[in-house]
Structures are given as C-alpha cells and as structure tokens.
Copies of this chain bind each other. A is one copy, B any other.
Amino acid sequence: MELSRFEKGLKKLSEVDGHVGEHVIESLNDIAPDLGKYIIEFAFGDIYCRENLNLQEREIITLSSLLTLGGCENQLEVHINGALNVGITPQKIIEVFIQCIPYTGFPRVLNAVGVAKKIFKLRNLGVEKTIV
C-alpha cells in the first residue's frame, strides 16, 4: 500500500532530523498544527523525497540557503544536526559555510559557524584544523 504524503514525510523527517525535527513539529501542536503538517507533507514528503539529489546534497543546499537568508539560527541548528545525521562531516559543513563567503559576505557565515560550534560541542565532535 502506498504511503500518504504525511507518512512519507514523517519517515523522511526522522531519517534526516531524528528527534530534533520531531520536537519542532510537536512545539507547533497547540498553536499552528497545520504548519507542522505542511512541513512534513510538503517540505519532507514532496521535496525531500524527490529523486535527482541524494540526502547529503539536499542538506548541503538547505544549509547554504538558510545561511544566506539570515536570521534562521534555529533552523540552521536543526539542519546542521540533520547534515551530521546523514553522514556529512563537521569539516565539510564548515566548508559549505566558507564557500558562501563570496556571495553573502562574512557576517552570515560567522553566525552560521557560531551555531555549528555549539552543536559540535554538544555532540562532542571536532574539526580537523587545517590552515590552507
């Protein structure tokens, strides 16, 4: 039997974000449950389940977009965790942020690195230091 968009999205959400994503959805239950429903159905059920890009590529694109938007520190927190969950290394996450410098300037990159620093510490992860 085919899964509904909601079921497909929920499965993809926990694949990517684990409990962190579920927590965001739960926090919407008493105020905007439809918003949580749309995130699961549309963002995760429709968009994340598409072909042509794998999950690591999707997280890299999402990180680049969130960094560039600005003011999305909470969402960066969810998706830096998501990126780690699907196997992207801490060093590669930092590299994604550095690639954005020519297009966004330093401030947005500094903010994104600040969020990563907090998460890497919580998850006890290090970044290999390499001065180019």
Whether A85 is near chain B, meaning CB under 8 Å from some CB there, is no
Question: Could you tell me if B35 and A113 are in contact, using CB atoms closer than 8 angstroms?
Answer: yes
- Residues of the B chain whose Cβ atoms lie less than 8 Å from the Cβ of A87: none
Question: Could you tell me if A47 and B98 are in contact, using CB atoms closer than 8 angstroms?
Answer: yes
Question: Could you tell me if B30 and A129 are in contact, using CB atoms closer than 8 angstroms?
Answer: yes
Contact with B along A77-93 (1 / 0, CB 8 A): 00000000000000110
- Residues of the B chain whose Cβ atoms lie less than 8 Å from the Cβ of A29: 129
A38-78: which residues lie under 8 A (CB-CB) from chain B?
Answer: 38-39, 42-43, 46-47, 50-53, 57-58, 60-62, 64-72, 74-75
- Report, nearest first, the 7 A-B pairs whose CB atoms are least far apart: A64-B64, A71-B71, A43-B102, A68-B68, A70-B71, A52-B95, A65-B103
